[in-house]
Amino acid sequence: MRARLTSAAVAAIACAVTLALTTTAFAATISGTVRDSYRLATVSGVAVSILSADDPASQLTSATTDANGAFRFSGLADGSYYLYFADAADRYWPAWYEEESEFWEADPVTVSGSAETTLDMQLDPEHVKYVSHLDTPTAEPDATTTLYVGEQATIDTTCTDALWGGGLFGMHVTLQSSKDQVTWSDVSSALDPDWDGTYSAPVVPGRSGTWYYRFAIKDAIDSEATESAVACLTAVLRPTHWEGATFKGTSVSDLSVPAAWQTLVIAARLTDESGQPISFASARVQCSVDGVTWANSGYPASPDLNGLYYASVMSGQWTFYRFAYFASDGEFSSASQPVVMRSPWATHWGSPPGKSRPHKQVVFAGMVFPPVGSPSKLVWVEIQRAGVNRWDKEWAGWARGSTEYDAVHWSVVRTLTTKGKYRFRATVKRRDAYHFPVTSHWFTTVVK
């Protein structure tokens, strides 16, 4: 006996058939992955909107890419759809599929049945951040070659993209140098690359020793901050030789005691280790009062083509003069033998020799030429009396002088109790670290 379907059962079957048909009619799927168009890395957090091609003004639904950059729309009816991608964080430019910036240029995606359509969408970053790579720099001449200080070498490197290997252009690449590989300083401005991304820069070691060089990309917006490996160069001072120093062009017969404030010309010849004249070096005149401590004077040293240097100096202030050669960064290299000039550092007046008497006041006086620019008026006076094979101290003390032009005039009144021969001298002490003490020669007088 067959059972009969009730009206309720018929209605249930009809509903099930309807659901089945609905499920079958809307079974298509669109899925895909969103990537960075430059690095090809997946991008999360991108909003993907799907719109019907029949009514693109109405958004059907949206999804957000997951940690793997994936998205998925299922249960789609047969038809064509537009997909729009937008990054809420503004890391990437918005675009329509397939990688179009405008709607009318977009490509619709057509689906049917239960098939799944897989897409691969790439978004352009709003600001490209290159993964740049700097090759190990090379030097010409190389690190095994010793340079002379002041000679030029060339350091170069190639800047490439770490992803696709091509040369990068327009990067803010500079060359840096260091003596300790800890503190670095720029030695060039932004460099212009060759066609293959090669950057090069000339370098001139200014001092002797080992110099380290590296390239650095300074633009932190357009590239990941990076530095290249290190190249090194060794520089030494060029061997030089001074062929003495002599007075030239003067009519002074006795150069050991020229007249005060007389202009004299000194000369010396500078050659290299092979005897060839050096006519481009940075040479200066140095002066000294004792031949030990030297100071750079303001006198220029001008060479001729034969490496002969001339300089004009003025007597009356310094005793020793010499030429000194400096490297490009001011490093002292060599100096000539000094020329000696006995200048009239001080004079004396007052009680003439032979007319002083014991227990009488004797005036010791004179003038001293202090270093140029020294404001000191204090004079240290020393008086000594001749003993047996020696000089004994009679008195020493300070005297305040007065200045006139470039000289300090001083005087000391002393009462001498013993006959004999006396000598005295005066010293203008230095007032700071930039001025040297100036001492006169000894002058003698006799007390009878």
Q: pLDDT tens across 278-298, in order? A: 877 678 888 776 677 788 876
Burial class (CB in 10 A: 0-12, 13-18, 19+), 343: buried
What confidence category does residue 29 fall into, taking pLDDT thresholds of 50, 70 and 90?
very high
Among 254, 248, 258, smallest CA distance to 315 is for 258
The most confident of 62-71, 229-238, 295-304, by mean pLDDT: 62-71
The most confident of 51-60, 231-240, 281-290, 423-432, by mean pLDDT: 231-240
User: Looking at residue 317, what is its pLDDT?
Assistant: 53
The most confident of 186-190, 209-213, 411-415, 443-447, by mean pLDDT: 209-213
Among 191, 245, 249, 181, smallest CA distance to 218 is for 191
- Provide the β-strand partners of residue 363: 413
- Average pLDDT for 12-20: 38
Burial class (CB in 10 A: 0-12, 13-18, 19+), 405: exposed
Q: How far apart are CA 342 and CA 160, in angstroms?
A: 68
User: Looking at residue 152, what is its pLDDT?
Assistant: 87
Higher pLDDT, 185 or 260: 185
User: Looking at residue 95, what is its pLDDT?
Assistant: 93
User: Looking at residue 5, what is its pLDDT?
Assistant: 34
Is the predicted pLDDT of residue 254 greater than 60, yes or no? no
Q: pLDDT tens across 243-252, in order? A: 877 776 544 3
Identify whether the C-beta of residue 270 lies closer than 8 Å to the C-beta of residue 281: yes
User: Looking at residue 122, what is its pLDDT?
Assistant: 93
Angstrom distances, CA of residue 415 to CA of 108, 356, 364: 120, 10, 11
Residue 132 is encoded by which pair of tokens?
Answer: 């740049």
Distance of CA 416 to the CA centre of its chain: 65
- Domain at 22-123, CATH homologous superfamily: Immunoglobulins (2.60.40.10)
Q: State residue 80 phi and psi, 5-degree precision.
A: -115, 145
Is the predicted pLDDT of residue 351 greater than 60, yes or no? no
pTM above 0.95, yes or no: no
Kind of pairing between the strands at 360-368 and 407-416: antiparallel
Is the predicted pLDDT of residue 349 greater than 50, yes or no? no
Is the predicted pLDDT of residue 96 greater than 80, yes or no? yes
- Domain at 360-447, CATH homologous superfamily: Immunoglobulins (2.60.40.10)
Whether cis (ω within 30° of 0) applies to the bond prior to 151 is no
What average pLDDT is seen over the chain? 76
Q: How many CB atoms lie within 10 A of CB 339?
A: 20
Q: What are the CB-based long-range contacts (under 8 Å, 24+) for 188-196?
A: 190/218, 193/159, 193/167, 193/168, 193/169, 195/167, 196/158, 196/167
Domain edges within the chain: 22-123, 132-236, 240-340, 360-447
Is the predicted pLDDT of residue 141 greater than 70, yes or no? yes
- The answer to whether 240-340 and 360-447 have equal CATH topology is yes
Residue 167 is encoded by which pair of tokens?
Answer: 């040369």
- CATH fold, domain 132-236, is Immunoglobulin-like (2.60.40)
- CATH fold, domain 240-340, is Immunoglobulin-like (2.60.40)
The most confident of 4-18, 74-88, 137-151, by mean pLDDT: 74-88
Residue 190 CB partners (closer than 8 Å, separation 6+) = 172, 173, 174, 218
User: Looking at residue 73, what is its pLDDT?
Assistant: 94
Identify whether the C-beta of residue 149 lies closer than 8 Å to the C-beta of residue 238: yes
